[in-house]
Amino acid sequence: MTSRPRSSSYLLGLVQMRCTASVPDNIRRAEAFITKAAKQGARIVCLQELFASLYFCQNLNAEWFKLAEAIPGPLTDRFCRLARKLKVVILLPIFEKAAPGLYFNSCCVINADGSLLGTYRKMHIPHDPQFEEKYYFAPGDRGFRAWDTAVGRIGVLICWDQWYPEGARLTAMHGAGVLFYPTAIGWMPSEKAELGEKQHQSWEIIQRSHAVANGCYVASVNRIGHEAPAGGQGLEFWGRSFVAGPMGELVAKASTDQEEILLAEIDTDAIGNQREWWPFLRDRRTDAYGDLTQRFLA
């Protein structure tokens, strides 16, 4: 448990959970975790990417499109009611059906009064062995955004977005003091022994660097457990959800293989202080960055 929050701070909660093949069970347990987090003092709670199902993107199967639903829809309505009941902000990852044949990997921002503030659509879509997301999701079409919530201004990005400093920078430039990254990332068992820890360290380091570069908090929530919905070796999700502070320090970190509610204190004064002490936003050479819009410079 964390210490009692100061007046300029609040508790953030990340729900690190194991998913099953039962969508109703995953949703029910997520609700229970959010309720428990709120009772422990969390004022904003974030679930992991695609929390309502197994990570189905390990192969190409059109049957999985049946999991998607509209926004607003039954799932968002359900969690809006929960947010209003608990008076807590909820970040709700969802497999969004925007139209027949048009799907997004999304995250809804639900305020503490139960209102749906908006939806972030994952911008960077991976295409790797057992991460076949380009088959399922269109790239996000709403850009990088931030929302004013009951706890302050926050931004949401999703999983593969973690590797891109541009996304973190633009979200911070919209005023976000905390960047949330709902995630589903793990090891392929065949390469874990050789590359596993290096992969994990890369994942953590890049996100902690976003906190440093933007003088903000980064909160990354991952799932746990082994999932193989398509058969074969599947994926072993490494958990280790964490929160990093504005200097990149680890504020809180979860285990590799246990379901947990990770609580972390967010000091809102530290965000402004860090941006004044290390004024990266002031010293940016905006006049010299035009080439960033190019794919590659030979």
Residues serving a catalytic function are 49, 122, 159
Residue 281 to residue 143: CA distance in whole angstroms: 20
Nearest Cα neighbor of 191 from 160, 234, 230 is 234
Nearest Cα neighbor of 143 from 167, 179, 116 is 167
Q: What's the number of CA atoms in the CB half-sphere (13 Å) around residue 10? A: 19
